[in-house]
Amino acid sequence: MFKSAQLYKEELNQKYIETWYQPKYMYYSGAGNREISIADNNFDRHDFVCVNDKGEVTGYFSYHINWITKSIDSLGLISFINNNIILINDVIKHLIYLLDHVGINRIEFWAYADNPAVDGYEKLVKKIGGERIATLHQVEMLSDGKLHDMCVFEILHKNSEIARKHF
């Protein structure tokens, strides 16, 4: 279940710091790490933690929201456990909520092309009516010392309405 990350700052950052030297998490942090900075408001950035039934933080989801263009960008998503189906379901429900009830027009996010989660992102985006619109080559060097490509995904409200009628 999603909860406001402002209520879990310390636990969130403790879990995140524990990932810093684990290679599988390099796709979240990019070239380097710093603590997750949680704003003291929710005007143009929304931060959530996924909390299990024991009250433990199992994931983090954030994004920037532009109220003028009604668009979302800078999505951040990290799971602190394997196969975090609750987190993924909460993300899908939240994105649909943003499109259907908040009136968001466009959602954009980027992911490293060789991130094992990219296949899941492609399925998620397609399910909601979006698509992978570009691949940018050799964008950033990660902690493995290699240059990595970046995928750009986009979901437009007009396309998402059509797709959701079929699922």
Instruction: Report which residue type is found at 101.
Output: H
Per-residue model confidence (pLDDT) at position 72: 97
Name the band, by pLDDT with cuts 50, 70 and 90, for residue 12: very high
Tell me the mean pLDDT in the region 117-142. 93
pTM above 0.75, yes or no: yes
- The pLDDT score that the predictor gives to residue 99 is 92
Q: What is the per-residue DSSP string for 88-155?
A: HHHHHHHHHHIIIII---EEEEEEETT-TTHHHHHHHHHHHT-EEEEEEEEEEE-TTS-EEEEEEEEE
- In the predicted model, is pLDDT for residue 161 greater than 50? yes
When pLDDT is cut at 50, 70 and 90, the band that residue 105 belongs to is very high
**Average predicted confidence (pLDDT) for the chain:** 91
Paired residues of 62 in beta bridges? 47, 76
pLDDT in tens, 56-103: 999 999 999 999 999 999 999 999 999 899 999 999 999 999 999 999
Mean pLDDT for the stretch of residues 100-112: 94
pLDDT-derived band at 166 (thresholds 50, 70, 90) equals very low
Place 46 in a pLDDT band, splitting at 50, 70 and 90: very high
Residue 33 — very low, low, confident or very high, per pLDDT cuts 50/70/90? Answer: confident
- Closest Cα to residue 15, out of 37, 35, 39? 35
